Structure 1
Amino acid sequence: MGLTRKRMLGLMGATAAGSVAASLSPSAAQATARGTAAAFAESHVIHRDVCVIGGGSAGTYAATRLGDFGKSVVLVEAKDRLGGHTETYHDPVTGGTVDIGVIVFEDDPLVRAHFGRFGVDLVPVGGFGTVNRYIDYRTGRPVDYTPPQPAALPTYFELISQYGPIDTGYDLPDPVPQDLVAPFADFVDKYHLGSVVPLIFNYGQGLGDLLALPALYVINNFGVGVVRNILSNSFITTAAHDNSLLYERATAHLGDDVLLEAQVLRVDRTPGEVRVLVATPDGPRLIRAGKLVVTIPPLLRGFAGFDLDAVERSLFSQYVSGAYYTGVVRLSGVPEGVSLENVAADTPYNLPPLPGLYQVSPTGIPGLYNVKYGSPAPLSTDQVRRNIRADIERIAKAGTYPVKFEELEVFASHTPFEIHVSPEAIARGFYRKLNALQGRNRTYYGGAAFSSHNSTRVWTALERILPSIAA
């Protein structure tokens, strides 16, 4: 497919990279359209064995490990940092840190090896000795509620174990069992698992309407690895309570092999190589690589400029997205050590309707509270910001606590989150077709959509395909 100068400039504008347009000569654009890099100065051409697009958990891990296989890599990331959903707030007053994205990891040899490579110490997860108070955020009033003991958790573990490690990848039986296609509410009712629903809901933040989702997605998120760590109380986190350290050190380790604030303008995959045109703060670069690893969410809107084939386009067009937002607020009027959990007074299992807050919880830094907000579908960030404030202020209006919302110190959208397809698509073999993309068109895929929203599972899934990428 040809790339005209007009088309390229349009792509630059669409990706907020128009500032590089002047530095890309007409002859370079024409050369790209002809499928050659002849007009690019050699200093603007990057030759690598593998190009990785997306510098979150999956992309950073893939780029790091491929080096162990003796492969040269370039990692392309649109943001000014690596880490994706792993974000850490640094309080300028106390110097304290708050992980607002990825908070815990499974205690797994792979996890310890990855952190150990970069000298990041790990410790068991601890709390702040908080006391939960249950509030219906729709009214701001307290709810007389005691969370059930998850007595059915061992039964749940036994049931999901029969499907194998589907928390690591969607390697499903054919035909797909109806238990996985049906709503999770049916799975709960059929196997009498009601006592674990509140626990799954609170762990699976970002899943949206938990009970209506196909059970496959809930089991994928709250899978055998997670349950094993809950039963053994073995989750870990960084000793510095700064999970972003992993990615800061990975950035230093990868050095010039990382292109930050880089926008992909064009991807052309030929039988002989992959060519990726990117706009960087230092001007355009043409990457020529043997293989491509894509770790961005596989939604069509993220693939402008990619030469997707009909199969890729058909599969990616079926995805829909949930939404998850997180941040740190400064509050006064909340008793010390109290966490305000959203619980509905009149719903099955007392699950709060979404969109809405999951909870407001202490961070360990006086006056600062972690907020988590979920929605079954994406909302504008302005709307979510307003909703967070309104939900919290409703508590004061109801006279429950004299809470005063002072400031939203930091806010992050982790959307898209938990992208999924319809039950009908699952039953028709969507994931069998998705898995068949690996290696097609010199391209491999990784990330949450191909494994789970769980760094441990993302890395484990990548280990399965790394030998093929490196071959």
Structure 2
Amino acid sequence: MSQLYFLQFFAPDIIASFLGTIQPYKTDFFDVFKRVSKTIKGPIHLGTKIERINRGRQPSIQYRDAKGRYSNTQLCSDFIIAFPPTSKALKESGLVLSTAERSLFAPVGVNGYFSSAVRMDKLGDNLTVSQALPNPLEPFKPEGQPVYLTPLHPESDIVNVYSADDPAHPSATRVKGHLLRDLSKINKNLNNAHAQGTKVAASDIRAFSGQIDYFPHVGPKALADGWYKKFNALQGTDHTYFTSGLNSFELVEYTIRAARDLVKQHF
């Protein structure tokens, strides 16, 4: 059944992009954020640290901006938590969890996922590179290696690189080491079989994200124990709603669909 659940999310264009028969659609999410911001009527607070979320009789958020010496308070009708609800992330958000929430979100895990921007030689036109699997029916073992890279802009020598590491013991040092070693092997025009690779230096790593809370999920036992039934029943308790890739599947399209479904059901 788990295989059937997984397959329902693979539309024809997604399957074809994985097979390499069509080029996947690429977008600059900064442009997406700018377009979406124009549809929001209220203020958007950037560079803000939330200190506390109060879910009492009058819900409110206590926050401080990057330059502010004093805390500000914003009154709210409801809270929508739009990030993967791991115990660590929820605690850092200023949210004081109830006993039911602590129990529910304790088994939520994420993949050991890192992203980087690396300066490389021109790999070739319209190319994406992914890790080869010895057995396509078996997942690779995440050991800090880069698993997918793609240049977003043809005029730029900066390549977006995504790496996977052991989620139980993620290590930025290990991931950076793999970036230097593994990318040096393919730092060349991949359309030319005789091209010589160029060593990637530490200075070529132009940006490094650290670990990202990617692909939130729960294990088989939690699923068998009715985790999603409990999760859906909790929505709206204490004016709080949760939406992320965990609601459906960690693909942009289905995360958006799940968020829209949440709005239709509760607002």
Q: Same fold (TM over 0.5)?
A: yes
Q: Give how far 1:357 is off.
A: 1.6
Q: Which residue of 1 aligns with 2:120?
A: 331
Matched, 1:388 2:179: yes
Q: 2:74 aligns with which of 287, 290, 293?
A: 287
> Counterpart of 2:252 in structure 1: which amino acid?
S
Matched, 1:297 2:52: no
Taking only the aligned residue pairs, the percentage that are identical comes to 18
Q: Which residue of 2 aligns with 1:316?
A: 105
- With normalisation by structure 2, the TM-score equals 0.77
**Count of aligned pairs:** 247
Q: Which residue of 1 aligns with 2:235?
A: 438
Rounded to whole Å, the distance in 2 between the matches of 1:423 and 1:430 is 10
Tell me how large the CA RMSD over aligned residues is: 3.2
Pairwise mapping of residues 147-296 of structure 1 onto structure 2 (< 5 A)?
A: 179-180=1-2, 187=3, 216=5, 219=6, 223-224=8-9, 226-230=10-14, 237=25, 241-251=27-37, 253-254=39-40, 257-270=43-56, 272-281=57-66, 282=68, 283-296=70-83
Structure 1 gap segments, 5+ residues each: 1-178, 181-186, 188-214
Counterpart contact for 1:330–1:369, Cα < 8 Å? yes
Aligned pair in 2 of structure 1 residues 340, 459: CA closer, same or farther (>3 Å)? closer
> Counterpart of 2:13 in structure 1: which amino acid?
N
> Counterpart of 2:71 in structure 1: which amino acid?
P
Q: Give how far 1:429 is off.
A: 0.6
Q: Deviations over 1:74-113 (max 9, x none)?
A: xxxxxxxxxxxxxxxxxxxxxxxxxxxxxxxxxxxxxxxx
Q: Give how far 1:405 is off.
A: 1.0
Rounded to whole Å, the distance in 2 between the matches of 1:340 and 1:447 is 27
Which structure carries more relative contact order (alpha carbon 8 Å, separation 6+)? 1
Q: Deviations over 1:402-449 (max 9, x none)?
A: 232141223334611112222111101111101111111111111112
> Counterpart of 1:426 in structure 2: which amino acid?
L
Q: Which residue of 1 aligns with 2:191?
A: none
Q: Which residue of 1 aligns with 2:165?
A: 375
Aligned pair in 2 of structure 1 residues 235, 274: CA closer, same or farther (>3 Å)? farther
Counterpart contact for 1:229–1:235, Cα < 8 Å? no
Matched, 1:403 2:198: yes
Q: Give how far 1:459 is off.
A: 2.1
- With normalisation by structure 1, the TM-score equals 0.46
Q: 1:466 aligns with which of 243, 263, 267?
A: 263
Aligned pair in 2 of structure 1 residues 429, 361: CA closer, same or farther (>3 Å)? same
Q: Give how far 1:309 is off.
A: 1.1
Rounded to whole Å, the distance in 2 between the matches of 1:335 and 1:267 is 47
Counterpart contact for 1:331–1:404, Cα < 8 Å? no
Counterpart contact for 2:170–2:211, Cα < 8 Å? no
> Counterpart of 1:248 in structure 2: which amino acid?
K
Larger Rg: 1
Q: Give how far 1:324 is off.
A: 1.9
Rounded to whole Å, the distance in 1 between the matches of 2:199 and 2:23 is 33
Rounded to whole Å, the distance in 1 between the matches of 2:185 and 2:16 is 38
Rounded to whole Å, the distance in 1 between the matches of 2:42 and 2:33 is 15
Counterpart contact for 1:327–1:409, Cα < 8 Å? yes
